[in-house]
Amino acid sequence: MAKTLVIVESPAKAKTIKKYLGNGYEVFASKGHVKDLPKKQNAVDVQNDFAETYEVIEGKEKVLEELKSAAKKADEVLLATDPDREGEAIAFHISEEIKNPRLKVARVEFHEITKKGVDHGVHNPRKLDENLYDAQRARRVLDRIVGYDVSALVWSKLAFGLSAGRVQSVALRLIVDREREVEAFVPEEYWNIAVGLAAASPPQRAPFVAKLASADGKKLEVTNGEVAAKVRVDLEAARYRVAKVVRREQKRNPPAPYTTSKLQQDATNYLHFGAKRTMQIAQALYEGIDLKRDGGPVGLITYMRTDSTRVSDDAIAEVRGVVAKRYGKEFVPERPNVYKSKKNAQDAHEAIRPTSVEIHPDSIKKHLKDEQYKLYKLIWNRFVASQMNPAVYDRTTVEIDATPTAAAPAYRSYLARASGRILKFAGWLQVTEGQQEFAGEEESAGAAAEGGAAAPAPAEASALATTDAERAAPGVPAEEDSEALLPDMKEGEALAVSSPGVITDQKFTQPPPRYNEGSLVRELEKRGIGRPSTYAEIISKVQQRAYVEKREGGAFQPTLLGKFVVDGLVRSNLDIMDPNFTAQMEEELDEVGAGNLKREQLLKRFYKKFREQLDKSKKLAPWKPEAEKTDIVCDECGSMMLKKWGKNGWFLSCERYPKCKATRDLSDARGSAAVRETDISCDKCGKPMIIKTGRFGDFLSCTGYPTCKNTRPVPLGVACPNCGGDLIEIRPRKKGGRTFYGCSNWNAEQKCDFKLWQKPVPVPCPQCGAKFVTRTGGKKAMLVCATKDCGFKQEIVEAEGEDGATDGAVALDAAAVDASAAPADRPAPAAAPPAAVQRPEPAPSPGATGGAAEKPARAVRARRTAS
């Protein structure tokens, strides 16, 4: 019987595919690439059309021998590596190694690991695509040339051992440029003014809040308290009349199914998964999960690296049937919704969707890890929503004339505006389970075949909620909708001031938010930098190289080292640091993949100019700052010390170096990094300890230094529930490692292994009485009880100082917790919040936090102010 050998990349995928193919097929896994460019300078022959010298990857010899041995016993080989450029390169390398005149070799693609997807791939083989392979080769050579040559430049100009990449350097520049915007930002004062109104005569109707929009026919921008006070006086004694009432129906179209970038954005914002973690989970869902049915693993989603919103006709027919059955026929559009892919999309694969919509997330939850369930549910919900009817709102906008009656008013007339809406038909929102904002939703406006213009995402209910428009510039923000219908009013009707009266709310513009993983992916996609398969790698590398750090909440902040690297590369006038040039290079690589541009042509054109720029940059001055004299005396020889910079940061070095090699961390120098006093005594000499900041964050240092060099981690003020030791923050020394919180006795005799991934906060749980809760970051910072079965969860309320700025304190709003939930053996929580508990680290300045975690905290403050 003829034998067919199928070669895939992943062992997990091999197991799933073997189940579907049955007898007559053998399935082996290459476990990724088998050959690569060796780590040496001459791996690419620039003078000979950039010919590469590939070598078998160390450790892959055994895998390759197994593939060769299996190929000798087969009549046909099907190369079923992943359906992208990387997969095409792996297929080419394997075919070169198993080459045999009698052996028939073909390429197949599995876009979904299901019976249907595997059968379709096996019955539709094709030849290896040399154009796709050339595109991958071109990218690999570009990255090698830039990586080696630019890294050497960084070594010579800044510090030995540093590295730089082609696309990663551009991403780092975006992060640094945003940081510079934050640093240069000067807050501007502005005031939001609103007034509570109600009908002046019976019948009485519910009061509402209208926001001041203009004065004397011009947009009103109140930028100081004096004008705000005058306007307040005018409005408190004004006559109010309804000038215009506009009622209309508003539709909100569903978003398109997920592409890679949109999935990474929503996974970051709602699941708090980084791009790399998201792709690892998605890979497992694609390769197959054992659902304890049909004899083995089942692929749950289609291929997860795609920039297309295209969906197969079969999948559309299936999802329309499921929507009709599960939600009702009124939720199914008359014709399928069709979405346009972006202009530069390769459109090689379908959008990310469930392989079968019949497999509901809840029906297989017990077979999935928690993270797999969450991501699969996100994908399932989005795909089902994409083929549903629009949500429909009844929207009312009321314009109100206010005529001051006080003597010498600031303005002769005012116009206030109130908008409200109620959900008339849920449409696709029926399936989203409370998720309010969706990556790429703005791109779906008008994209669906059925449905009208897309409405904005629901706004905060408060008339004074802070919006993106407010943060961008002072003055009156864009019109907002509250999630309620305004009372019935008629044009010409008189109104009177009602609770809460006239509200004047001082605000300050905020700097642009720092990038987090989701917003950085969005920016890279918007600019055309990278491709779906590269976003996670780009973000991972800028962190691994210590050029970027993650702040609490997930925002990226460049290190001083990262800033120096970017500044030096920009001064060198290298095209690779221009986002537009990098985007153009991506387009040219696509042209190579399509067969419209020769690989050698692209590389020659790039390399000639690159070498010219590189040679000029080598003549520039070093990038590192010059050494500075200090008045600090060297402990070893008595000479003066110099302030210098190295790749690990600032330090002190004896001016007699190299004769005297004494150095000192700058945090140990007089007048250097700020220290914070504590009431903690040194366990070795009894002297007080202070908090200092080093390479790996804050730590406790004895004030008896250098006589006593004892250091300890900073306790978080929470006792370990296992042994009573202090809980501390632990930052792995390995680059890219994840910070966690563990017991300070982890290396003591008792070896306590207690560990948390979320930061503990020394605030008792008002629901179960646990001694501490944990703080979660992400789009909505939450306080969550550390007790597994408690279930307490509450959005964080940032304690404010008198000036309205957050001071880093966290308070539990005990009034929000149902007193009836308190255990019978202890009193119910008090109505007032407990005293604020200081975090051990200094709080960021107002507006300094970036990314998705920033907005909820501002919204909380706005709601409290309005009430």
Digit-coded pLDDT (tens) for 216-236 = 999 999 999 999 999 999 999
Q: Do 670 and 632 touch, CB atoms closer than 8 A?
A: yes
DSSP letters along 503-514, please? EEEEEE--PPPP
DSSP SS3 for 323: helix
> Is the pLDDT higher at 475 or at 633?
633
Q: Distance between CA 249 and CA 390 in Å, rounded?
A: 12
Question: Per-residue pLDDT tens for 808-844?
Answer: 344 454 333 333 333 333 333 333 333 333 333 333 3
Nearest of 849, 738, 850 to residue 274 by alpha carbon:
738
345-349, 370-374, 483-487, 616-620: least confidently modelled range: 345-349
Q: How far is CA 677 from CA 301, 341, 689, 702, 844, in A?
A: 54, 57, 7, 11, 19
Q: Do 852 and 515 touch, CB atoms closer than 8 A?
A: no
**Mean pLDDT confidence for 604-615:** 92
Indicate the average pLDDT of the chain: 81
Residue type for position 78: L
> What is the pLDDT confidence band of residue 757, given thresholds at 50, 70 and 90?
confident
Residue type for position 687: K
76-90, 338-352, 636-650: least confidently modelled range: 338-352
Question: Token pair 């042209």 is at which residue?
Answer: 591
Question: Per-residue pLDDT tens for 404-428?
Answer: 998 889 999 999 999 998 889 999 9
Nearest of 854, 853, 860 to residue 778 by alpha carbon:
853
Angle ∠(82,275,88) on CA atoms, nearest 5: 15
DSSP letters along 596-612, please? SS-HHHHHHHHHHHHHH
Q: Percent of the chain scored above 90 by pLDDT?
A: 46
DSSP element (H, E) containing 436: none
**303 catalytic residue (yes or no):** yes
Q: For residue 671, is pLDDT > 70?
A: no
Give the other-Cβ count within 10 Å of 54's Cβ.
18
Peptide bond into 721 cis (omega under 30): no
Task: Please give the structure tokens belonging to residue 273.
Answer: 């998964």
pLDDT of res. 302: 93
User: Residues near 77 by Cβ (< 8 Å), separated by ≥ 6?
Assistant: 4, 5, 6, 7, 71, 95, 98, 103, 104, 105, 106
Q: For residue 466, is pLDDT > 80?
A: no
DSSP SS3 for 241: strand
Q: For residue 387, is pLDDT > 80?
A: yes
Question: Per-residue pLDDT tens for 145-182?
Answer: 998 899 989 988 888 778 888 899 999 999 999 999 99
13-22, 87-96, 418-427, 442-451: least confidently modelled range: 442-451
Sign of CA dihedral 274, 276, 279, 284: negative
* The residue count for the chain: 867
**Mean pLDDT confidence for 357-382:** 94
> What is the pLDDT confidence band of residue 764, given thresholds at 50, 70 and 90?
confident
Q: Distance between CA 258 and CA 375 in Å, rounded?
A: 12
Q: For residue 454, is pLDDT > 50?
A: no
What end-to-end distance do the CA atoms of the chain give, in Å? 79
Where b means 16+ CB within 10 Å and e means fewer, 792-814 reads: bebebbbbbeeeeebbbbbbbbb
Q: For residue 307, is pLDDT > 70?
A: yes
Which of these is catalytic: 25, 190, 303, 393? 303
DSSP letters along 51-100, please? EE--EEPTT-HHHHHHHHHHHHT-SEEEE---SSHHHHHHHHHHHHHS--
User: Taking the CA atoms of the chain, what radius of gyration do you get in angstroms?
Assistant: 31
> Is the pLDDT higher at 480 or at 246?
246
Task: Please give the structure tokens belonging to residue 532.
Answer: 């779906």
Q: For residue 846, is pLDDT > 70?
A: no
91-95, 288-292, 346-350, 742-746: least confidently modelled range: 346-350
Q: Up-side HSE of residue 744: CA atoms within 13 Å toward CB?
A: 16
Q: What stretches of 682-811 adopt beta strand conformation (E)?
A: 688-694, 697-702, 711-712, 715-719, 726-730, 740-743, 755-756, 759-761, 773-776, 782-785, 793-795, 797-800, 806-811
Q: Distance between CA 436 and CA 853 in Å, rounded?
A: 15
**Mean pLDDT confidence for 39-66:** 89
**Mean pLDDT confidence for 652-669:** 80
Question: Per-residue pLDDT tens for 81-134?
Answer: 988 889 999 999 999 999 888 889 999 999 988 888 999 999 999 999 999 999
Work out the widest C-alpha separation in the chain, in whole angstroms: 103
pLDDT of res. 483: 67
Q: For residue 755, is pLDDT > 90?
A: no
Main-chain dihedrals φ then ψ at residue 640, nearest 5 degrees: -85, 155
Q: Distance between CA 731 and CA 549 in Å, rounded?
A: 12
Nearest of 164, 159, 130, 128 to residue 146 by alpha carbon:
164
**Mean pLDDT confidence for 55-69:** 91
Q: For residue 864, is pLDDT > 50?
A: no
Question: Token pair 């392979």 is at which residue?
Answer: 133
Q: For residue 568, is pLDDT > 90?
A: yes
Nearest of 38, 253, 216, 25 to residue 123 by alpha carbon:
25
Give the other-Cβ count within 10 Å of 348's Cβ.
19
pLDDT of res. 824: 32
User: Residues near 608 by Cβ (< 8 Å), separated by ≥ 6?
Assistant: none
Q: Do 389 and 421 touch, CB atoms closer than 8 A?
A: no
